[in-house]
Structure 1
């Protein structure tokens, strides 16, 4: 926004300091003048009434007063300019950091030294904001690159299948249709997952009162056929867990957790436990599953987009799109909750979601 140029803050402060010094000087000179106009005689103050003495006194007092006022003016401006510069130096550093950040470089930090005061708190808050922006942009760049790669894969497979069918007239059209259908379904699943993730990150949803225990039951009933197909038993239980949020997104969250617990499980006789409880002032959803023991470094990557946990056992051939726990993380964060992923000592995973009650 273009604005007319004006006086700098430093100059305004210098003029203010000088004006204050001038006013103080004038008051001192007035006090001195009245002091000279009075004499004490026998303990009684007698005001001079003749014309000659005040006139001569003023002629000698005025030049001295003028010199004093000129000195105070110069001293006030110069001293005020120096003091204002020292006081505004932190703002200068913050302004420079802002200009650097505006060019797209977010790695610069102010790191203002000294004791904690208003300027130090402002600089620290600005450094924290830059760190969060840098991390967020880096995360978005990784996500965009991964999403582009994941979306390119089914398109490349489709192109290859079509080229083979065009060049080989004896190619079985039924097989081609089946493969194209599978690839297209994967692309649709990925696109829908990206849309859910974007919706959760933007918090563009309405909130209403929901019971997390009922949502857990609905998700479990939906995935029960998949569990039976893979020989997995599911146990649900717990208390009512009332919270406020999007029923659709919370159902997506729970479905993703239960689906992951079924898919990443033992090949035979695996188990999944889904429980809810109230821990005032939060409600808790816990999804546990049996499985192999997971390395600590793998746990930290599971909630990142497109991380499928290559060391985990899968009970089916569905490779997923690698966004299951990433969506859970985003939905949890959009509902002001916390997500905790820990390995079970016996093997498998324990995922805990805490939401405000």
Structure 2
């Protein structure tokens, strides 16, 4: 934005300091003058004592000295004010330099302002914190873009390979080719829809309405029950009404993803998934736990990253696209909640979702 040129903040502070000193000096001289007038007669007196000066004599002696004092105060205020303003604004100059670095694309620069806590120190610390979060977010987006490009390129490359083979081999089984192309296309569609869901959650493009998490949990368990039975996994749901406010579609997607992950990444046979809901004071809590292999804390910390499938625990028959927990995390953050992942001592994963609570919904 183009702006008209103006005075610098340092010059404004300097003029303010000098003006304050001039006003204070003038008031002090005026006070002295009024005080002296009380003891000086209007006309000279003669007698055996010494000669008494008049107000006119005092005025002739006082005014030049007062003028010289005001000039000195003006010069002192301007010089001293310029120096003090520079010292006061030095931290602001460092913040401005850091902002210019950021403008060039360097997010690794930090101010790291020294000294005791004051307004400038708080501003610098807030700026450093913002830069750290922004740098982490940009790095995450870059990884996401690279992974998404790789994931989207894979089905396209497979499709191209299948078509090239079919063109070179006229005797290829077209029914098998169509089935394989359909499977590859379905995976590409699922990935695209997952990316759209993730984008919609990040943008918070929804109108919040009352939602009961317990009903969403029951619906997700019922929907995924056939797949769980096929894998020999038992789903157990429990909990009372758990009201919150948000997007029913996104919250249903969140719940379904959690239960789906718990079913897929489970023990080979005889696994169990526990889905519980609760409504402690002021919040709504959804917990999804599953049996399975033991997970290291380092692995658990990476599971919310996009396209992280939990190497060593994903079943090869349904590995997914690696966006399940990433979508869950984005949906939860869009609703002002938190997501907590923890490995279970007996094996498997425990996922806890905390969302803002809401008044109990009418039945």
Normalising by the residue count of structure 1, what TM-score does the alignment of the two structures yield? Answer: 0.93
1:317 matched residue in structure 2? 317
Task: Tell me how far 1:107 sits from its aligned partner.
Answer: 1.2
Task: Tell me how far 1:36 sits from its aligned partner.
Answer: 4.8
SS in 2 for 1:107: coil
CA contact (8 A) 1:267 1:313 kept: no
1:328 matched residue in structure 2? 328
Task: Tell me how far 1:114 sits from its aligned partner.
Answer: 1.5
For 1:47 and 1:22, the matched residues in 2 are separated by 29
For 1:54 and 1:300, the matched residues in 2 are separated by 87
1:67 matched residue in structure 2? 68
CA 1:31–1:351: 2 relative to 1, 3 Å: closer
For 1:298 and 1:187, the matched residues in 2 are separated by 27
1:20 matched residue in structure 2? 20
Deviates more, 1:286-295 or 1:140-149: 286-295
1:42 matched residue in structure 2? none
1:271 matched residue in structure 2? 272
SS in 2 for 1:159: helix
Equivalent pairs, count: 350
Task: Tell me how far 1:112 sits from its aligned partner.
Answer: 1.5
For 2:74 and 2:294, the matched residues in 1 are separated by 79
CA 1:66–1:195: 2 relative to 1, 3 Å: same
Q: Are 2:303 and 1:302 aligned?
A: yes
User: Which of 34, 47, 57 is residue 41 of structure 2 equivalent to?
Assistant: 47
Task: Tell me how far 1:62 sits from its aligned partner.
Answer: 3.6
SS in 1 for 2:220: helix
1:212-227 counterparts in 2 under 5 A? 212-227=213-228
> 4+ runs of 1 displaced by more than 6 Å?
none
2:139 matched residue in structure 1? 138
Cα deviation, 1:163-218, whole Å, max 9, x if unaligned, reads 11111111111111111000000000000000111111111111111111111111
CA contact (8 A) 2:41 2:54 kept: no
Cα deviation, 1:23-51, whole Å, max 9, x if unaligned, reads 22223333444455554xxxxxx522369
For 2:202 and 2:314, the matched residues in 1 are separated by 30
Cα deviation, 1:31-84, whole Å, max 9, x if unaligned, reads 444455554xxxxxx522369954454444343333222211111110111111
1:342 matched residue in structure 2? 342
Cα deviation, 1:300-327, whole Å, max 9, x if unaligned, reads 111111001121052x612210001111
Cα deviation, 1:304-356, whole Å, max 9, x if unaligned, reads 11001121052x61221000111111111111111111112221111111211
SS in 2 for 1:279: coil
Q: Are 2:253 and 1:252 aligned?
A: yes
CA 1:290–1:30: 2 relative to 1, 3 Å: closer
2:6 matched residue in structure 1? 6
SS in 2 for 1:280: coil
CA 1:228–1:30: 2 relative to 1, 3 Å: closer
CA contact (8 A) 1:261 1:289 kept: yes
2:171 matched residue in structure 1? 170
CA 1:160–1:317: 2 relative to 1, 3 Å: same
CA contact (8 A) 2:267 2:293 kept: yes
SS in 1 for 2:317: coil
SS in 2 for 1:352: strand
